[in-house]
Structure 1
Amino acid sequence: MTEYFIQAFVYLIAAVIAVPLAKRWGLGSVLGYLVAGVVIGPVTGLVGQETTTIQHFAEFGVVMMLFLVGMELDPKALWAMRVRLVGLGGLQVALTAGAGMGIAIWLGLAWQTALATGLIFALSSTAIVLQTLNEKGLVKTEGGRSAFSVLLFQDIAVIPMLALIPLLALPELAGLGDKADAHASSINLVEHLPGWAHALVVIGAIGAVIVGGIFLSKPLFRYVAQSGLREVFTATALMLVIGIAALMGLVSLSPALGAFLAGVVLANSEFRHELEANLEPFKGLLLGLFFITVGAGINFDILAAEWGTILALGLAVIVVKASILLGLALLFRIKGSNGWLFTLSLAQAGEFGFVLLTYSVQNKVIAVETSQILSVVVAFSMFLTPALFIVYDRVVLPRYRSAQNEGREADTIDEQAPVIVAGVGRFGQIVCRLLRANNIPIVVLDHEIAQIENVRQINIKSFFGDASRSDLLETAGIEHARLLVVAIDDRERAVEMVQHVKQYHPGVWILARAFDRGHGYRLRVAGADDIVSETYHSALEAGSHALTAMGVHPLRARQMTAAFVDNEKAHEDELFQAWQEMDGSIDFSPRYGELFMKLEEALSSAMQQDWETPEQREAPIWMPPESDTER
């Protein structure tokens, strides 16, 4: 038992050290897990042969992930993506498998082995790609949705691939691998059934998942929810996913595919959010463990002996797949940075490649020696995937943004107005609309073409250009302007802009948007006359509604928020002075924390003051909301 504890501690401490470092350096958690696996496996030898066994267990994280992804969709959304699911996914698998087979034949492999190799490298890593897309918030982009469609088709395609591989057995390998097969055990209900019976069993299993999800899940979850025990609901959620995965495995289907189907069926369930909350920690932990085992499972002996071949094959996999994916992106009109996101995210081999590789060896399609090299190539290409996302983030995306914005010169500003608005994002647009509604002339500047085009659609005169450039401000009439609204989405440039205008045009009143309290203090030092925190007033409004929801009279709630504002203003100079004394830092400062707690005590005292209940003529009839117990 102690040995298991030590191994678990090694895996966990590797993740705890490596992943935060990778995130801090902007490399993503997946690369952190992979590096952690390499360090504790091939480099230091802290873990050994058990990584393969653990990897099979950790692959259940992929099953959970697809179950949760399925719950984010509904059948209508799945139907809407049918063209890309079948067309884009089908072409990707067919073309990549064909290209892989051609290269393998060129390298001297038998056509059966070459075909199996092509199928292995046609698959991409569902675990790495979806995890990284989720982390970076790219799932909802066109490139992210297209990548998901292909990954889903690949998971479906694993089923016919597993059916095809036994038909490719090579006679010369028939006497090899028997010893390994003796240790392989798997429960399969359809192994010896005729084709028609196999098909009926598969259809029955899928039907059982759909019917059970529609008709049986609701009474089951209601029964469990009545217990009031969260751990029982968690056990039920795990039981559901494990049961579906086991059922799919019994009939030779992909457990991940079955879990995804169940997730789609439960997408509109009233218990959806509770299921997500209970399964998310397990999914994250198992996926992290899976990535660590991939890194730990890299065979450095084979890598050292065949490093040239493995490096060439790994790069060839990425280049060939990327070329095919880029062509498909152009064919299906996935344009711009989305096309490159689609291309780079799928240009690797995947975890199901290990499954097909093992299955091919067991069925005498690929020789053991060849499989060892191909296994390292699969792992190597997966290891490079985070680097491809880094290329997308730091090379592709900035170039497309700069090309979009720098492809044209700044507009010629042919108007001047008493009000100049710098930045027309979600904050600046509201200011512009309010000014325009009162017939106050404004000149709008922004360096994002998309923002300028949006504002022009609502008939607000706007110009493309960097508002922080002094020459553009001069052309816009800053010398004679009465008001400058600084709402640009860049903290440093906002402060520099305020400093410049106050130095050369001190008579201009500057209204500046602050991101937070510290940024507001910096703008105040720079000379801004009026500073508004972007979330302050909306948060106050939300707080007022929260008080009302808890039974406080609406007018009294407004009195309380007014007292909050007065309390903040009363201590504003004191807090600002403390901030200046601490050289502009408010993070983890004992002095500032002590002062802030003093402000909180004053606020609490203000909230406890007696309030006059509004008379009927001053306020409408209002009753506090009923609680669940009162109903």
Structure 2
Amino acid sequence: MLDPLIILIALACGMASRAVGLPALIGYLGAGFLLHELQVVEGEILQVLSEVGITLLLFTIGLKLQIKDLLQTRVWGTTLAHMALLQLFFLGVFFLAGKLVPSLALGFSASMVGAFALTFSSTVFVIQVMQERGEMASRHAALAVGILIIQDLAAVVFLGFSAGKVPGPEALLLLLFIPLRGVILRLLTLSGHGELFTLFGFALAVGGAQLFELTGVKGDLGALLIGAVLAGHQKAKELSRNLLQFKDLFLVCFFLTIGLAGWPRGELIVLALVIGVLAVIKPPLYFLLMTRLHTPPRTALLASLSLANYSEFGLIVVAIAASAGWMDAQWSGAISLAIAVSFLIASPLNRFSHKIYRRWCHRLQAFETAQVRATHPDTRNTRVMVLGMGNIGTGAYESIAEVYGSEVLGVDDNDRKLAAHRAAHRRVVAADASDPDFWHRVDLNNIELIMLALTNHQENKLVGRLLEDLGYKGRIAAVVRFEEEAEELERYGISAFNLYAQAGSGFAAHAAEQLRDERQSA
């Protein structure tokens, strides 16, 4: 069984890491090294759970694959160019390190693998940062996640080749998963939304990976492919959310096993610290590539800063290379230290990313291409703006448009929503409500009312501060979910509508009106 001491130390280190504003991942890596010092021996179950965590990671990546989004040049072009340039850079770093300290010298194959591992950025870190700031639906989050998925696909190709197996002819039978997509989705629907649904998804990931192994195909690659077959369906999105906690929990075991392998030797520790600091070259390179491929400067900067780190996938790549005998096992510990240092650097950069952009926005706008300038939204002849065109925003738009007509403008950052609204003949534009560049182009003197239908408290506060800094004198109304959120927004002069508290009264009024109509018709 899993030693309770391992669980307690992992929990304590994870909590300590989170308390100082760092991802819990750093704490788990530290817990592994601490357990090594306490001479705790890695058990078989820890290794099994570690492998399950990697399988679930790849399966959930597959569930999120949207080919259309990944085919954008600024996504795949940025990713491939960035990975190629970093590959060359870190090959040079390893070559120089080997010349200066002969004991650090690596063969060409080992150097290629080590450099490849450092080209990734952390999916765990990016998603945690975006979720905490309430920006998962933003364009910069979508761009960063798209880049991460392309990187993960490159890692999966490596995993497939690393197995060293030649698939047998029976592997062709795995193509049956494609026509079976409808059957699998139907079964997922029948399994409901509770534990049976989650268990079915777990069985698809682990059982599918084992099935691929039996045919000579790397099981982790199989898990990703099965997830990709299901991608794009609503049940796939729900399944990804349900498996998220299991995946994160099992990956804790993977990070613990890295630390339990022990500290690298002294010169490797020094090199790991240097490599960790070198993560600072990632954001400028990302920014230059993104803006040259027609990404707005603000989107490029926020996405670049979130990617200013190394990845847990790099650990997986190095661990597999070490198990195959291509690299010394101590390199896993060295890469884990480099990842921890990169997180220490990336955390404050992301905490102050919006302030960094506001401070340097005029210089950064010099990187804006003519193609981006041509897409600036037209906000002329507007008296009312509705920010966030989901269900709540759409209802607000329809109601206020009865009074203001075409002088109402809807604002959203989701291209699919915008296409649906335009088909319904609503006046909408594509913009990020928290983007100061957008507000600088709006004539706020003509705006009488701004309605925040974002349902994200942090973003509501950010927009409120922006409008206050710009001297907006009109009315602002916002949707909130909790009373303390309403109180906080009122300090910014924002009128808050409590979605949960006032939905009940609206529901009662609707029911009473129906009852009154029925009595009158009787």
TM-score of the two chains, using structure 1 as the length reference: 0.56
Cα deviation, residue 298, structure 1: 7.0
Does residue 105 (structure 1) correspond to residue 72 (structure 2)? The answer is no
Which among 107, 112, 117 is matched to residue 115 of structure 1?
112
- 2:239 alignment counterpart: 275
Is contact 1:102–1:114 with CA below 8 Å preserved after alignment? no
**How far, CA to CA, are the matches of 1:152 and 1:523 in structure 2?**
36
- 1:13 alignment counterpart: 8
**How far, CA to CA, are the matches of 2:489 and 2:148 in structure 1?**
48
- 1:311 alignment counterpart: 273
Is contact 1:121–1:353 with CA below 8 Å preserved after alignment? yes
AA partner of residue 308 (structure 1): V
Which among 201, 211, 219 is matched to residue 179 of structure 2?
211
**How far, CA to CA, are the matches of 1:365 and 1:542 in structure 2?**
64
Is contact 1:41–1:48 with CA below 8 Å preserved after alignment? no
Q: Structure 1: any 5+ residue segments left out of the alignment?
A: 166-187, 408-420, 439-445, 463-487, 497-509, 557-613, 622-631
**How far, CA to CA, are the matches of 2:312 and 2:65 in structure 1?**
24
**How far, CA to CA, are the matches of 1:269 and 1:276 in structure 2?**
11
Q: Find the residue that maps to 1:376 and give its secondary structure.
A: helix
Q: CA distance change for structure 1 residues 309 and 51 in 2, over 3 Å: closer, same or farther? A: farther
Cα deviation, residue 400, structure 1: 1.1
Count of residues in correspondence between the two structures: 447
User: Which ranges of 4 or more aligned residues in structure 1 deviate by more than 6 Å?
Assistant: 423-427, 433-436, 490-493, 510-516, 518-524
- 2:301 alignment counterpart: 340
Aligned pairs for 1:198-347 (under 5 A) are 198=167, 204-205=173-174, 207-212=175-180, 214-221=181-188, 225=191, 230-250=194-214, 255-269=219-233, 271-272=235-236, 275-276=239-240, 278-294=242-258, 296-297=259-260, 299-300=262-263, 302=264, 304=266, 306-316=268-278, 318-322=279-283, 324-347=285-308
AA partner of residue 216 (structure 1): V
Q: CA distance change for structure 1 residues 89 and 513 in 2, over 3 Å: closer, same or farther? A: closer
**How far, CA to CA, are the matches of 1:540 and 1:153 in structure 2?**
44
Q: CA distance change for structure 1 residues 248 and 200 in 2, over 3 Å: closer, same or farther? A: same
Cα deviation, residue 378, structure 1: 1.2
- 1:545 alignment counterpart: 507
The structure with more radius of gyration: 1
Q: Structure 2: any 5+ residue segments left out of the alignment?
A: 100-104, 365-382, 406-433, 450-459, 469-474
Does residue 38 (structure 1) correspond to residue 30 (structure 2)? The answer is yes
Cα deviation, residue 398, structure 1: 0.8
Q: Find the residue that maps to 1:50 and give its secondary structure.
A: coil
AA partner of residue 96 (structure 1): L
CA deviation profile, 1:92-129 (whole Å, cap 9, x unmatched): 33222222223323334443333333223233444444
Aligned pairs for 1:151-162 (under 5 A) are 151-158=148-155, 161=158
Is contact 1:120–1:353 with CA below 8 Å preserved after alignment? yes
Is contact 1:139–1:145 with CA below 8 Å preserved after alignment? yes
- 2:332 alignment counterpart: 375
- 2:84 alignment counterpart: 94
Q: CA distance change for structure 1 residues 142 and 452 in 2, over 3 Å: closer, same or farther? A: closer
Does residue 386 (structure 1) correspond to residue 343 (structure 2)? The answer is yes
CA deviation profile, 1:108-161 (whole Å, cap 9, x unmatched): 444333333322323344444444444444444343333333332333323554
CA deviation profile, 1:549-572 (whole Å, cap 9, x unmatched): xxx54356xxxxxxxxxxxxxxxx
- 1:585 alignment counterpart: none
Is contact 1:88–1:328 with CA below 8 Å preserved after alignment? yes
Aligned pairs for 1:356-505 (under 5 A) are 356-361=317-322, 363-366=324-327, 368=328, 371-372=329-330, 374-404=331-361, 450-451=438-439, 453-454=441-442, 460=447, 489=461
Is contact 1:329–1:342 with CA below 8 Å preserved after alignment? no
CA deviation profile, 1:319-356 (whole Å, cap 9, x unmatched): 45455434423432444343334434444443343444
CA deviation profile, 1:288-345 (whole Å, cap 9, x unmatched): 4444555x44733x355643333223333x2454554344234324443433344344
CA deviation profile, 1:192-239 (whole Å, cap 9, x unmatched): x4xxxx49666653x233233x143145446x63xx895444332211
CA deviation profile, 1:239-274 (whole Å, cap 9, x unmatched): 111122224445665655543443343245464466
Is contact 2:129–2:350 with CA below 8 Å preserved after alignment? no
Q: CA distance change for structure 1 residues 234 and 255 in 2, over 3 Å: closer, same or farther? A: same
**How far, CA to CA, are the matches of 1:236 and 1:203 in structure 2?**
24
**How far, CA to CA, are the matches of 1:299 and 1:279 in structure 2?**
30
Does residue 58 (structure 1) correspond to residue 45 (structure 2)? The answer is no
Instruction: State, as a whole percentage, how many aligned pairs show the same letter.
Output: 20
Q: Find the residue that maps to 1:122 and give its secondary structure.
A: coil
Q: CA distance change for structure 1 residues 150 and 200 in 2, over 3 Å: closer, same or farther? A: farther
AA partner of residue 460 (structure 1): I
**How far, CA to CA, are the matches of 1:199 and 1:153 in structure 2?**
28
**How far, CA to CA, are the matches of 1:145 and 1:491 in structure 2?**
20
